[in-house]
Amino acid sequence: MEVTQVIDIGREALWVGILVSAPILVTALLVGILIGVLQAATSVQEMTLSFIPKLGAMILAMIIFGGWQLTVLVEFFREIFDRIPGFFA
């Protein structure tokens, strides 16, 4: 196994991690900003007020994007498993 192969696999793993986590993280960020603006506008500074909507939005994002996320992960791991014989040649 060469250094370039290891770097290539690591780069692909980081990219897959970013792709899979992005929909949930962006959803949490947008909902958090929206709730923060509403809290600032209404002067309600309750910390627990933002938790439930963020959690609900993240669960909804997982329901919407979950199939796509699993597809990306399965394709990545299939590529890794297909490369295994070449590592020992």
Task: Output the CA–CA distances (angstroms, integers) from residue 83 to 7, 33, 88, in the order listed.
Answer: 14, 42, 10
> With bands split at pLDDT 50, 70 and 90, how would you rate the model's confidence at 17?
very high
CA distance 50 to 64: 21
pLDDT in tens, 33-79: 999 899 889 888 777 788 899 999 999 999 999 999 999 999 999 99
